[in-house]
Structure 1
Amino acid sequence: MSLIDLKNELSYHKLKDRYIDLPATGATVEEAANVLQVDPDAIAKSLVLDVNQQPVVVVLSGNARLSNQRFKAEFDVRPHLLSPDKVRESTGYPVGGVNPIGLDNDLPVYLDTSLRGLPWLYPAAGDPYHALKLSLTELSELSHPVRWVTVSQ
């Protein structure tokens, strides 16, 4: 999905005002939290992992760490992050800009329980200089997750 497509999707859902142009890079959780002036937990980071030779996207809160044991319990494999080139090839977005909405190749999206209880979430919006401000309900509706998982510690 291009940035234009993403903006059109947001407009369709009457959420166009939730698209944020960042004045500096938000490629990492720390950078995004600083530029948005929010708690790092509110950053919805999208990790692209290999599960049985298929890329999947797992969205966690900013401070949540991926647990090898919990991931293996959910997916029956150890987690392996894709390389930056494979991330772009699989999602259409660069590392630091992966948005779980409208991904190329209809990748499966999983939302981690670490996102629950946060009033606002800020996922990247296609590149490190754009973000979205969404409620958990909006993120869930727009990303069409396969299911909720607990892969964080």
Structure 2
Amino acid sequence: MSLERAKAYLKRFGLDNEVMEFDASSATVREAAEAIDCKEEEIAKSLSFLVDGGPVLIVAAGDRKIDNKKFKAEFSAKAKMIPFDMVEELTGHAVGGVCPFGVNEDVAVYLDISLKGIETVYPACGSSNSAIRLTVDKLEKITNSKKWVDVCRIIK
């Protein structure tokens, strides 16, 4: 299962026991914010895309969405989300629990600058009812992210 995969990855950093599991769903930003009792912007959502045929994760603040123009400028490709039925196969995690922990080896992870300036964030941990509390610095250190990107805008 994805939750165990994420926990195994987090164990390398001594964080596996920090994973929170909820009785209610935390699959959407709103549900996660309610389950954790935090602001939606503090949810670090992982958005999955195909770029040049390969999987890419963009980890962004929960109150943001992809800006197609910025995405194309960064990746020289149109923002094309991974089809729902292929997300788990390509990333290693099912929709609702996609996270940057324990992803398949060929997944490129990028952190969006929307996370900068937020002290604490809550990314999912491989299931639709889990999360972990991390500083943005810690998230950057443990995700093996390629780099910071600017590909999002505020949801209106």
Indicate the TM-score class for this superposition, using the shorter chain for normalisation: over 0.9
Figure out how many residues of one structure are paired with residues of the other and give that number.
Answer: 153
Partner in structure 1 of residue 93 of structure 2: 93
Q: CA deviation at 1:54?
A: 1.1
Give me the whole-angstrom Cα distance separating, in 2, the residues matched to 1:115 and 1:47.
Answer: 14
Partner in structure 1 of residue 144 of structure 2: 144
Opposite residue 22 of structure 2, the aligned amino acid is L
Are residue 24 (structure 1) and residue 10 (structure 2) matched?
no
Partner in structure 2 of residue 117 of structure 1: 117
Partner in structure 2 of residue 58 of structure 1: 58
Secondary structure of residue in 2 paired with 1:9: helix
Secondary structure of residue in 2 paired with 1:105: coil
Are residue 6 (structure 1) and residue 6 (structure 2) matched?
yes
Secondary structure of residue in 2 paired with 1:65: strand
Opposite residue 112 of structure 2, the aligned amino acid is D
Per-residue CA deviation, residues 114-150 of structure 1 (Å, 9 max, x unaligned), is 0001111111111101111111111111111111100
Query: In structure 2, do the counterparts of structure 1 residues 105 and 13 end up closer, same or farther at CA, with 3 Å as the change threshold?
Result: closer
Per-residue CA deviation, residues 25-59 of structure 1 (Å, 9 max, x unaligned), is 01100110011110000000101101111111111
RMSD between superposed Cα atoms in Å: 1.4
TM-score normalised by structure 1 residue count = 0.93
Partner in structure 1 of residue 35 of structure 2: 35
Q: Quick check: 2:44–2:123 contact (8 Å CA) kept in 1?
A: yes
Gaps of 5+ in 2: none
Query: In structure 2, do the counterparts of structure 1 residues 5 and 127 end up closer, same or farther at CA, with 3 Å as the change threshold?
Result: closer
Bigger strand share:
2
Partner in structure 1 of residue 76 of structure 2: 76
Gaps of 5+ in 1: none
Percent of pairs with identical residues: 38
Give me the whole-angstrom Cα distance separating, in 2, the residues matched to 1:34 and 1:109.
Answer: 26
Secondary structure of residue in 2 paired with 1:48: strand
Give me the whole-angstrom Cα distance separating, in 2, the residues matched to 1:36 and 1:19.
Answer: 12
Give me the whole-angstrom Cα distance separating, in 2, the residues matched to 1:118 and 1:13.
Answer: 22
Q: CA deviation at 1:2?
A: 4.3
